Amino acid sequence: MGPSPWLGIELVLGVLVGALGAALWVRRQQPPAWLGLAFVLALALAVLPPALLGPRLKRPPRRIRVVSVFDEATTDALVRAFTRQTGIVCDVDPFAGGTQTTAGLILQGRIHPDILLGGTAEIHEELADAGLLSSHLPRPDAQRIDAYDDPQGRWTPIYLGLLGLVYRPLPELQTRPPDWLTLIQPRWKGRISIPAPDKSGGGLVFLATQIQRQKDPAKGWEYLRLLQENRVRWEDRSSEPISRVAAGTMDLGVAWAHDVLRRIQTQRLPVRLVIPSDTGFEVGAASILAQARDPDAARRFLDFLTGPQAARIQVEVGHRVPLRRDVPPPGYLDPGFFGLESGRSPLHYDREAVVRHRAEWIERWKEEEGGRGD
């Protein structure tokens, strides 16, 4: 605990009283009794232990409320590092829902965070279109990859994530690793777990990937119809397929590659990962809500998230792809997979089209696919 804020004033007062007493002594004048008492009082105040006055005068720390769709380990590492650097405390809401579900609760006014941390940028854009986000342009930084920035700064890109297939190490799947076509083979009927497009960012990217990887979008919808006939199980969160495959209740699933690898490393799950060459990806983002209680503190948090320390946490803890040139990407990323620094998508994946057609595609999926399967 630091010294009393009044300490400097008390010392100055003591010096002034002492100087006055000294001047009277030099002029051979008897100092009045009150002057001695004042000197003693000033000296006592100056040396009072800070423990007596500090707690009453110390200001409470600044705080921001964060709702995070990251895994707990990454969230905890990020907010701890930010608090150590700035002294600003992050109160993380104990909410465990997919990004789409979280955005829906914000749109309904049921949760009121200052920051939405993580999740695909297309869903942050949904909140921006509703006028619920506050703009903040990232600080100029030559080492930061800015190819994915929103021109208006309504949300801030902080990482990239690739969609992958998680599977049990069954002999036939190890001999020939699965691809998208494996999911519609009758052999795996009722044994497939996929995040729902209306609940999670991973589900939205999966839906867009299947529509866009075909030259004719109608074939993409036909693929989704066949998938539904295979009795796929739709999940609320992008991480749920990993748990079901690891538990053996499902054989195949769709999940973010970084989530699969992180859980293999930290939990030693008996699963495998493959990233299809024609996969989709997310630009993971963070955004400030318009009703943020301390907008300046919220902006400082976003600036921290785009810096090198946060990027290293994204790689080392979360296994995500950083948007910085001075932080090496995780080892599983093939540098030639797509133009990381240029912002170029895989040839089939058009993020701008996903933004334009997001609501239309989700509504059609809910109508044609019957929404959630059993």
Alpha-carbon distances, residue 266 vs 166, 263, 312 (angstroms): 16, 5, 17
Dist CA 186 CA 182 (whole Å)? 9
The alpha carbon torsion through 102, 203, 243, 224 (nearest 10 deg) reads 150
H runs (alpha helix) in the chain: 7-26, 33-47, 50-57, 72-86, 99-107, 121-129, 171-175, 201-212, 217-229, 240-247, 257-267, 295-305, 308-316, 351-368
| Predicted TM-score of the model (pTM) | 0.78
Helix, strand, or coil here: 250? coil
Dist CA 188 CA 168 (whole Å)? 12
The tens-digit pLDDT sequence of the chain (374 residues) is 444 444 455 555 555 555 555 555 555 555 565 555 555 555 555 555 555 555 555 678 999 999 999 999 999 999 999 999 999 999 998 766 788 889 999 999 999 999 999 999 999 999 999 999 999 999 999 999 998 999 999 999 999 999 999 999 999 999 999 999 999 999 999 999 999 999 889 999 999 999 999 889 999 999 999 999 999 999 999 999 999 999 999 999 999 999 999 999 999 999 999 999 888 889 999 999 999 999 999 999 999 999 999 999 999 999 999 999 999 888 887 655 545 454 445 556 788 888 889 999 999 999 987 644 44
User: Residue 69 in contact with residue 118, Cβ under 8 Å?
Assistant: yes
Instruction: Give the type of residue at 203.
Output: G
Alpha-carbon distances, residue 367 vs 20, 184, 193, 198, 226 (angstroms): 89, 20, 20, 12, 15
β 156-167/272-274 pair status: antiparallel
For the chain, the 3-state helix, strand and coil shares in percent, each to the nearest 5, are 45, 15, 40
Which residue do the tokens 């999670």 mark?
200
Q: Is 142 exposed, middle or buried (0-12, 13-18, 19+ CB in 10 A)?
A: exposed
Domains of the chain and any CATH numbers: 7-57 (no CATH), 63-159+281-335 (3.40.190.10), 161-277+363-368 (3.40.190.10)
